[in-house]
């Protein structure tokens, strides 16, 4: 048992330590630029990645300005798409599961926005179709992928790849979650600093 725990811990630590620092920094810079131009951030993924997206939206919307709500009249505008299970099943039933992200994105996307696509394999057809919508609108795509990165890593403007053996979902998703927490913590500390050291 100890060997199993130690091995899993070792692989998790190695994945976090090997995160592409330059790409994560690019993602932070893009998010900063979107905030400055009052754009919106749309994030999506399947299964565990949809859960990571929802977790991040919750943390990001609540946490970034929580210590200094009165000092910031403008906030980040971050949403997971689709916004509800009802909307997701409506698109899946009426249009097709491969369009559950692309169609809602087409309804709202503007050239001031950014898209964050999360996919362990990087090859989910519904993720790729949504990324293609973003590319047609000339909206930057931050892609979080795993394994060999797949098509998402090819298409994304920011390529946050967690390279692992194929099927190593636990390590990839855990690392993606850590990266999203990093983004939240970065902006929380950034805006706290602006208020405390004007």
pLDDT the model gives residue 66:
73
Name the token pair of 147: 């394994």
Q: What's the confidence (pLDDT) of residue 67?
A: 67
Answer yes or no: are the C-beta atoms of 37 and 112 closer than 8 Å: yes
pLDDT at site 158? 98
> What pLDDT was estimated at residue 192?
84
What is the tally of structural domains in the chain? 1
pLDDT value at residue 65 = 78
**Residues in the chain, pLDDT under 50:** none
- In 3D, which of 185, 173, 191, 156 has the Cα closest to residue 26? 156
> Is the CB of residue 46 less than 8 Å from the CB of residue 119?
yes
pLDDT of residue 70: 67
pLDDT in tens, 133-155: 999 999 999 999 999 999 999 99
For position 183, which CATH number holds?
A: 3.40.50.10490
Parent domain of 67? 2-196
């Amino acid at each position: 048992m100890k060997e199993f725990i130690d091995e899993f811990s070792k692989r998790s630590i190695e994945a976090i330590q090997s995160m592409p620092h330059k790409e994560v920094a690019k993602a932070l810079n893009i998010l900063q630029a979107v905030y400055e131009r009052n754009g919106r951030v749309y994030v999506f993924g399947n299964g565990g990645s949809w859960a990571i997206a929802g977790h991040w939206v919750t943390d990001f919307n609540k946490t970034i300005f929580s210590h200094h709500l009165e000092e910031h009249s403008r906030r980040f505008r971050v949403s997971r798409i689709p916004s509800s299970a009802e909307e997701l099943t409506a698109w899946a039933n009426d249009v097709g599961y491969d369009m559950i992200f692309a169609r809602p994105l087409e309804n709202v996307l503007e050239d001031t926005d950014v898209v964050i696509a999360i996919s362990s394999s990087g090859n989910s057809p519904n993720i790729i179709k949504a990324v293609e919508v973003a590319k047609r609108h000339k909206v930057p795509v931050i892609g979080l992928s795993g394994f060999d990165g797949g098509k998402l890593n090819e298409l994304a403007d920011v390529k946050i790849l967690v390279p692992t053996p194929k099927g190593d979902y636990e390590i990839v998703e855990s690392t993606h979650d850590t990266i999203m927490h990093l983004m939240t913590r970065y902006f929380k500390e950034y805006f706290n600093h602006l208020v405390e050291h004007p």
